[in-house]
Amino acid sequence: MKYPINRERLAKRFMTLCEIDSPSWQERRVADHLIAVCTELGAQEILEDDSSKKTNADCGNLVVRFPGSLPKEPLFFACHMDTVEPGCGVEVVQTGDIFTSRGHTILGGDDKSGIAALLEMMQVLKETNTPHRSVEILLTTCEEVGLLGAKSLDHTLLRAKSGYALDSTGIDRVIAGAPAANRLKIKVHGIAAHAGLNPEQGVSAFCLAARAIADLRLGRLDEQSTANFGLINGGVATNIVPDLITIEGEVRSHSADKLNNYTREIEETFRNVVKNWAAQAGGVKQPSVDISVQKEYPSMLVESEDPVLTRVKRAGDVLEREISFEVAGGGSDANIFNSYGLTTAIIATGMKNVHTIEESLDLRDLYSLTELLLAVVLV
């Protein structure tokens, strides 16, 4: 089946969105643009929640309602409005069908590719007066900095109870499962001393942290779990034994038990290293460690027979395209939506090399995504 998608309009819409600055916490400009566009497209209602009070963003999440005439279950489609840095002053370059930035910023296809496809979908439905099910477009803030908009979402604003988040690399891919994650922040307290005059009076927090990290299992832990430390900070000067090192990391797993066990393993490793070092060192002052664990997001898993997945498969069949269904290793707004009881799968949007200045998007993939979304709302 062929839909009258306007390639030039789709390309222009995508480029326009990318060139509106919307780094995390500063989504107001793109939100206002989307409110205006959705009003022109005939949105029945546009709601903005009060999540900004919790996220400190300059706007809230948006819920945009488009009524349908088909007596079918309503669906929501979700995208996030924010981008990572460097994401201000984006200049889009189109070379044939390929979009890139000029090279000093990201492109912004994460997640404006999904937004552009949704807007084109609604434009086609309006122009052709095609009967379709009711659609809600959910636009969140602060996804890139911890899914903050989704976590603060007033999900009671949504009438649809299931839908899709448009936010992954590749094309014709649907993510049905993703892990839970714990974020760890560990402060290792040593004892400061002059590194040249009396180093024996100090205890290096850096050495304590290094010993603990060396004792840990990191990377791929098993087929369901990973662990990583990616940030380290501390020290004052090269001639001072550092008395504080802070490291931050994460544990992810599709299994709640494994997530808890691996997190506990890390905690115990750090505590044991500090305890053993203190026992050997003696003295009045003792090293110590403070560990905080924050649940970053819950796991998600949509069963293969769920309508959210079978509907996409039917849409692929209509288009004579094979849709792959996968379990991924990353978290997204979809993890949060599923925890609200809103059954959500993730549809890939074609973006490549996201979060880098080498990011790109192929207009042919964006066109294919729009085709798939149209098929989904019509089957």
Output the CA torsion sign for 185, 189, 193, 195: negative
- Give the whole-angstrom CA distance, residue 45 versus residue 68: 13
| Alpha-carbon gap, residue 176 to 174, rounded angstroms | 6
Query: Is 82 considered catalytic here?
Result: yes
Handedness of CA 31, 36, 38, 44 (dihedral sign): positive
**Identified catalytic residue from 27, 111, 143, 296:** 143
Instruction: With beta carbons less than 8 A apart as the criterion, state whether 55 and 152 touch.
Output: yes
Catalytic-residue membership of 250: no
Extended strands (E) in 7-51: 45-48
Three-state SS string across 113-149, please? HHHHHHHHHHHHHHHHCCCCCCEEEEEECCHHHCCHH
CA distances from 177 to 299, 304, 322, 334 (A): 7, 10, 19, 9
Catalytic residue among 27, 82, 172, 359: 82
Total Cβ atoms within 10 A of residue 136: 22
Catalogue the active-site residues: 82, 143
